[in-house]
């Protein structure tokens, strides 16, 4: 079977009982993404970096597609969790990159006064596949040389 789009377990997580994402209803746009391990997200303090929550997943797609990572709609109110980058963007060439095999994570801030614990297997967000368009004068020819934050290297 030809691979068109989907999720796989990232290297290093093969024996971690990671669940591949699923849509819960037939009209859902997003695939539910679970945390790969227990993690504590500390209450926000000025100057603090976001907490990266591992998924143990990588994603493959077509050349004109992108995967967008969104927060769960209930996370801000119930857990005080907001995404540091508002929306995560996973490009096609992030898949199997040499730095981290394409393992994607969610970057959270916790705006509650108390630390929040996320348990392994808990749904933390959702991933949506989407087509994108190019401008008439697009000339992008660069190639990815790394993982997280490597686009401008």
The pLDDT mean for the chain works out to 94
Structure token pair of residue 70:
């969104």
Whether 132 shows a pLDDT value over 60: the answer reads yes
**Residue that has been written with the tokens 């949506």 in this structure:** 128
Please state, in angstroms and rounded to a whole number, the distance separating the CA atoms of residues 95 and 38. Answer: 24
Q: What is the pLDDT of residue 149?
A: 58
Q: What is the pLDDT of residue 1?
A: 82
**CB count, 10 Å around CB of 7?**
21
pLDDT band at 105 (very low <50, low <70, confident <90, very high): very high
Tell me what the mean pLDDT of segment 18-33 comes to: 97
- Going from the C-alpha of 128 to that of each of 2, 31, 134, the distances in angstroms are 20, 6, 19
**CB count, 10 Å around CB of 145?**
12
Percent of the chain whose predicted confidence (pLDDT) is above 70: 94
Q: What is the pLDDT of residue 100?
A: 95
Domain ranges of the chain: 6-131
Whether 148 shows a pLDDT value over 80: the answer reads no
Tell me what the mean pLDDT of segment 116-134 comes to: 98
Q: What is the pLDDT of residue 84?
A: 97
Tell me what the mean pLDDT of segment 105-111 comes to: 98
Whether 53 shows a pLDDT value over 80: the answer reads yes
Q: What is the pLDDT of residue 140?
A: 84
Is the Cβ–Cβ distance between 140 and 91 less than 8 Å? no
What is the pTM assigned to this prediction? 0.90
CATH code 3.90.960.10 for 6-131: no
Please state, in angstroms and rounded to a whole number, the distance separating the CA atoms of residues 127 and 66. Answer: 10
Least confidently predicted of 76-85, 133-142, 144-153: 144-153
Is the Cβ–Cβ distance between 69 and 106 less than 8 Å? yes
Please state, in angstroms and rounded to a whole number, the distance separating the CA atoms of residues 115 and 80. Answer: 10
Q: What is the pLDDT of residue 141?
A: 81
pLDDT band at 152 (very low <50, low <70, confident <90, very high): low
């Amino acid at each position: 079977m030809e691979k068109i789009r989907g999720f796989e377990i990232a290297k290093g997580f093969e024996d971690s009982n990671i669940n591949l994402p699923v849509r819960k209803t037939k009209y859902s746009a997003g695939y539910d993404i679970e945390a790969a391990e227990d993690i504590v997200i500390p209450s926000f303090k000025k100057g603090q970096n976001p907490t990266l929550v591992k998924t143990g997943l990588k994603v493959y797609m077509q050349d004109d597609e992108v995967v967008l990572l969104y927060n769960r709609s209930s996370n801000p109110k119930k857990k005080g969790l907001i995404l540091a980058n508002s929306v995560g963007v996973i490009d096609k060439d992030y898949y199997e990159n040499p730095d981290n095999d394409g393992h994607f994570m969610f970057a959270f801030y916790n705006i509650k006064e108390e630390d929040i614990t996320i348990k392994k297997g808990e749904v933390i967000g959702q991933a949506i596949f989407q087509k994108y368009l190019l401008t008439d004068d697009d000339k992008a020819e660069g190639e990815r040389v790394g993982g997280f934050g490597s686009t401008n290297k």
